[in-house]
């Protein structure tokens, strides 16, 4: 895999404009049997090129890595040679604009590893305590708390996490934290990365990406696997992707969520967190786009696929949700502040408005069966045939020209419901 750099996006006005901008310029993954994979070797398609810092250092040992990060000045690039790096303590980035990445560009070959999920020697793998930091092309895991922590309580902004694998952490794999000082983690990008447990978390206190009170984040083109708790507790865990505590303008697009206890959540419950942005108690999230994601789990204990809780002005569109869990619904919108548009989704169960949640529902297709998809058990949710109810069933959306796999929308009379546009097998 070639080394890559984040290509800066031009500004857009509003969360919808920003979401369409990312659709136009950001990345597709490499396709493996139709599945999107986070091991994309075509970096340019992911909006990424090699960073060019004013100063750079190449490190080959854990000691050199920690020393280089500790001595880094603003704008420095730290390149990590291939190898496994055992962390005696966390990698703590305090200078703005630092780029920390694997030199080869292959995250499989650069692994930062703590002492284990139940150990505290390296409680956090990578701590980001400065703005405009980039972490790319490496793996980090086996730590007691968070794989990567973005410290919103320090007012950190503009962090990018790209081409990273975060695995087997005691708590959240990526955490956007917050304090009570009115500072927040804003304008983050998490892209083309994988968040996973090889089996499951050691407790129910885990998420893939968990951001409190953040504004303007985008999570796109990532894979989330096995974000679930202990089997003895029914696998209960937090959502694989969670933005709450009055987070604002989140865009969640083209992610694959596989075998996770809960899928994607904007908000949990209004007033739930004393750390909510600006002390907000009416909402737990404001605005947001959840678009062209795939959530699939055949585990009968699974909870909701997509949940919107206490969030006004949300857009949920062109997602495919196939969750064989304990609930009779696949997508839920809850609590009186919740409002928005839910359209062009494909699910195996109903879309439920409850506890005062409202939405305009349009062109959603429910009742999907395993046989509708190429290989549901392997999370390949491409449509199998042209005569399915989802084909040509969606409403056109201005500016949305590509599907989950970055192929053209509306190959027939109209777009198809769900994340994938149907294409005949060759």
| pLDDT tens string 11-36 | 333 555 544 433 332 332 222 223 33
Q: Report the length, in residues, of the chain.
A: 426
Q: Are 128 and 156 in contact (CB under 8 A)?
A: yes
Q: Are 336 and 344 in contact (CB under 8 A)?
A: no
- Whether residue 277 is predicted with pLDDT greater than 80 in this model: the reply is yes
What would the mean pLDDT of 276-292 be, rounded to a whole number?
Answer: 98
- Rounded to whole angstroms, how far apart are CA atoms 148 and 389? 42
Beta bridge partners of 26: none
Beta bridge partners of 179: none
Residue 86: φ, ψ to 5°: -85, 125
Tell me, rounded to whole angstroms, the distance of Cα 101 from its chain centroid.
19
Question: By three-state DSSP, how is residue 69 classified?
Answer: helix
Q: Give the up-direction half-sphere exposure of residue 110: CA atoms within 13 A in the CB hemisphere.
A: 27
Tokens of 199: 């089996």
Query: Which pLDDT score is estimated for 25?
Result: 29
Q: Are 166 and 140 in contact (CB under 8 A)?
A: yes
Query: Which pLDDT score is estimated for 137?
Result: 95
- Rounded to whole angstroms, how far apart are CA atoms 195 and 255? 11
Confidence of residue 301 (pLDDT cuts 50, 70, 90): confident
Residue 376: φ, ψ to 5°: -60, -40
- Rounded to whole angstroms, how far apart are CA atoms 81 and 137? 11
What single DSSP character describes residue 154?
G
Query: Which pLDDT score is estimated for 282?
Result: 97
- Whether residue 381 is predicted with pLDDT greater than 60 in this model: the reply is yes
Confidence of residue 66 (pLDDT cuts 50, 70, 90): very high
Q: Are 80 and 108 in contact (CB under 8 A)?
A: no
**Antiparallel, parallel or unpaired: β 223-225 and 99-102:** unpaired
- Rounded to whole angstroms, how far apart are CA atoms 140 and 21? 30
The DSSP-derived string for 349-404 is SEEEEETT---EEES-B----GGGEEEGGGTEEEE--TTSTTTT-SPP-TT--B-T
Query: Which pLDDT score is estimated for 410?
Result: 79
Q: What is the CA radius of gyration of the chain?
A: 20
* Sequence-ordered list of residues with C-beta below 8 angstroms from that of 22, at least 6 positions apart, any chain: 9, 218, 220, 251, 253
Buried-exposed string 151-182: b where 16+ CB fall within 10 A, e elsewhere: bbbbbbbbbbbbbbbbbbbbbbbbbbbbeeee
Among candidate residues 90, 170, 200, 180, the one with its CA nearest the CA of residue 135: 90
User: What is the end-to-end Cα distance of the chain in Å, rounded?
Assistant: 28
**Cα 180 to Cα 89, 128, 261, 277, distances in angstroms:** 26, 18, 30, 9
Query: Which pLDDT score is estimated for 26?
Result: 34
Tokens of 226: 């096995």
Sign of CA dihedral 269, 274, 277, 278: positive
Query: Which pLDDT score is estimated for 181?
Result: 96
**What are the pLDDT digits (tens) for 109-163?**
999 999 999 887 889 999 999 999 999 999 999 999 999 999 999 999 999 999 9
Whole-structure pTM value: 0.91
The residue among 10 and 325 whose pLDDT is bigger is 325
What would the mean pLDDT of 291-308 be, rounded to a whole number?
Answer: 96
Tell me, rounded to whole angstroms, the distance of Cα 260 from its chain centroid.
13
- 10 Å CB burial of residue 371 (0-12, 13-18, 19+) is exposed
* Sequence-ordered list of residues with C-beta below 8 angstroms from that of 46, at least 6 positions apart, any chain: 4, 26, 27, 28, 29, 40, 162, 163, 191, 192, 221
- Whether residue 47 is predicted with pLDDT greater than 90 in this model: the reply is no
């Amino acid at each position: 895999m070639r080394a890559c750099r984040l290509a800066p996006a031009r500004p857009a006005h509003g969360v919808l404009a920003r979401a369409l901008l990312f659709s136009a310029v950001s990345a597709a993954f490499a396709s493996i049997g139709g599945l999107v994979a986070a091991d994309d070797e075509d970096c340019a398609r992911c909006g990424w090129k090699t960073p060019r810092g004013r100063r750079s250092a190449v490190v080959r040992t854990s000691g050199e890595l920690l020393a280089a990060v500790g001595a880094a000045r603003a704008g420095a690039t730290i390149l990590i040679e291939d190898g496994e790096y055992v962390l005696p303590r966390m990698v703590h980035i305090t200078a703005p604009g630092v780029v920390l990445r694997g030199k080869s560009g292959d995250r499989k070959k650069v692994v930062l590893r703590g002492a284990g999920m139940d150990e505290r020697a390296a409680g956090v793998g990578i701590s980001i305590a400065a703005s405009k930091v980039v972490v790319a092309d490496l793996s980090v895991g086996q730590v007691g708390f968070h794989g990567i922590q973005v410290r919103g309580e320090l007012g950190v902004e503009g962090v990018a996490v790209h081409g990273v694998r975060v695995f087997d952490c005691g708590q959240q794999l990526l955490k956007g934290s917050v304090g009570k000082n009115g500072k927040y983690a804003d304008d983050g990008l998490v892209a083309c990365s994988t968040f996973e447990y090889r089996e499951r978390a050691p407790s129910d206190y885990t998420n893939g990406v968990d951001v409190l009170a953040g504004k303007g984040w985008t999570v796109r083109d990532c894979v989330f696997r096995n974000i679930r708790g202990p089997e003895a507790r029914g696998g209960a865990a937090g959502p694989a992707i969670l933005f709450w505590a009055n987070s604002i303008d989140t865009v969640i697009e083209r992610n694959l969520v596989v075998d996770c206890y809960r899928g994607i959540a904007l908000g949990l419950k209004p007033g739930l967190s004393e750390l909510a942005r600006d002390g907000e108690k009416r909402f737990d999230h404001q605005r947001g786009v959840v678009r062209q994601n795939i959530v699939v789990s055949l585990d009968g204990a699974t909870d909701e696929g997509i949940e919107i809780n206490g969030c006004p002005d949300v857009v949920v569109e062109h997602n495919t949700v196939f969750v064989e869990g304990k609930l009779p619904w696949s997508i839920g919108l809850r609590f009186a502040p919740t409002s928005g548009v839910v359209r062009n989704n494909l699910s195996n169960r109903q879309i439920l408005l409850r506890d005062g949640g409202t939405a305009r529902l349009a062109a959603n297709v429910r009742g999907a069966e395993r046989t509708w998809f190429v290989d549901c058990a392997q999370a390949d949710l491409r449509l199998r045939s042209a005569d399915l109810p989802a084909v040509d069933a969606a409403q056109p959306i201005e500016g949305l020209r590509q599907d989950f796999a970055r192929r053209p929308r509306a190959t027939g009379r109209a777009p198809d419901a769900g994340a994938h546009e149907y294409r005949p097998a060759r």
